[in-house]
């Protein structure tokens, strides 16, 4: 649908970012310097990085962290399918980016029905210009998308193109009863697309769907890790259990990660058996690691939380529940917070 209705080329800036020869830094791919390479990327199904490091030149013309992009075509189409926009619906988009997705929404909803918010004023201006140039009437607002846009509420549909670990209450409050919210959920290990429906009581409930990894909303980026804090006072114990599956398998990691919200993970490969898996929870100043050995491994834990013990408990619960798939999990959002559940909202996952 998307490729036939709206031309992606009209929205991609002349400078995009690709992985360099060293496999680490991102380097600019400029239309003026390599028009064939630029066009091949734009016409592909791949995601395209359009900004790095929040637009700051920190590494002498190179970049490390993608901070804005045009999503892969499959995920754009999948999210629009889950959103289910019909003509005349009022739509709020969080994360304008290039403006390409907003243009697709405008085609579906009709003239003047789409409001799109972008936190970066420069990106918002570029998207607004592209939408105007291509004749897609979208109201582009430069601002913090976590607050929504109450002036245009209530909305029939809300869609976010950046991931969140905590659903902003404003999105629910600004969605009319029966309205739908689609967004990428940022899990501790892996993420997924989520679809919520707002009930008459103002509570949003729904399920998780496809695996998906997105850049986070800027004010919901991961906390800095606290690995090795107070290492001399950490608790150390041996184990023969090498619990690596949540770090390697997306479905396992997603399910287990629901028990460990707000944590960051790490994996240090030092060659041979000396691989170290890491968990960190900055708010509680807690961290844990497992360092692999040949026959026996070493677990280190520090802080008020015993994160590796919690990981093992969560994994055992998931195994004992029959290894439920991603789409059996759901989320309820109320003014008091959010709750994860398995199969139905009555089977809540009780977090620490």
Give the integer Cα–Cα distance in Å for 302 and 340.
27
Report whether 266 contacts 278 (CB < 8 A).
Answer: yes
Q: Which of 294, 298, 250, 249 is nearest to 278 (CA)?
A: 298
Rounded to whole angstroms, how far apart are CA atoms 265 and 63? 22
Q: Per residue, what are the HEC states of 185-209?
A: ECCCCCCEEEEEEECCCCCEEEEEE
Nearest to 144 by CA among 126, 166, 172, 168: 168
Taking Cα atoms as reference points, which of 318, 289, 285, 276 lies closest to residue 304? 285
Helix (H) or strand (E) holding 288: strand 286-291
Q: Which two tokens stand for residue 92?
A: 């709020």
Q: Which positions are annotated as active-site residues? A: 71
Peptide linkage before 154 cis (omega within 30 of 0) = yes
User: Residue 127 has which token pair?
Assistant: 């998207």
The torsion of the CA quartet 207, 323, 350, 310, rounded to 10 degrees, works out to -130
Using CA atoms, how far apart are residues 182 and 157, in angstroms rounded to an integer?
8
Phi and psi at residue 203, to the nearest 5°: -100, 140
CA dist 159 and 121 (Å) reads 20
What would the two tokens of residue 115 be? Answer: 């409001």
Structure tokens at 221: 């980026």
């Amino acid at each position: 649908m998307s490729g036939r209705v709206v031309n992606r080329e009209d929205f991609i800036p002349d400078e995009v970012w690709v992985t360099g020869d060293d496999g680490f830094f991102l380097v600019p791919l400029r239309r003026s310097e390599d028009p064939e390479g630029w066009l091949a990327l734009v016409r592909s199904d791949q995601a395209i990085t359009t900004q790095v490091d929040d637009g700051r030149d920190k590494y002498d013309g190179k970049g490390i962290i993608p901070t804005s992009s045009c999503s892969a075509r499959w995920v754009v189409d999948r999210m629009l399918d889950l959103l289910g926009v019909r003509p005349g619906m009022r739509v709020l988009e969080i994360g304008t980016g290039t403006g390409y997705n907003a243009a697709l929404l405008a085609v579906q909803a009709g003239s003047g029905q789409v409001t799109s918010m972008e936190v970066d004023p420069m990106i918002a201006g570029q998207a607004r210009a592209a939408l105007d140039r291509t004749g897609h009437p979208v109201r582009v607002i430069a601002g913090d998308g976590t607050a929504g846009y109450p002036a245009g509420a209530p909305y029939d549909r809300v869609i976010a193109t950046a991931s969140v670990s905590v659903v902003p209450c404003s999105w629910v409050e600004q969605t009319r009863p029966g309205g739908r919210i689609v967004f990428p959920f940022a899990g501790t290990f892996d993420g997924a697309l989520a679809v919520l429906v707002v009930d008459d009581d103002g509570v949003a409930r729904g399920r998780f769907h496809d695996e998906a990894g997105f850049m986070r909303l800027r004010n919901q980026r991961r906390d800095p890790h606290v690995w090795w804090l107070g290492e001399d006072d950490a608790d150390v114990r041996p184990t023969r259990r090498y619990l690596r599956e949540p770090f390697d398998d997306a479905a396992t990691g997603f399910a287990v990660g629901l028990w460990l919200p707000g944590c960051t993970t790490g994996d240090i490969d030092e060659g041979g058996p000396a691989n170290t898996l890491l968990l960190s929870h900055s708010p509680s100043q807690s961290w844990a690691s497992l360092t692999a050995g040949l026959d026996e491994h070493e677990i280190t834990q520090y802080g008020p939380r015993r994160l590796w013990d919690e990981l093992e408990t969560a994994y055992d619960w998931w195994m004992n529940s029959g290894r439920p798939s991603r789409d059996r999990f759901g989320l309820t959002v109320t003014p008091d917070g959010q709750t994860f559940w398995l199969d139905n909202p009555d089977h809540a996952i009780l977090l620490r």
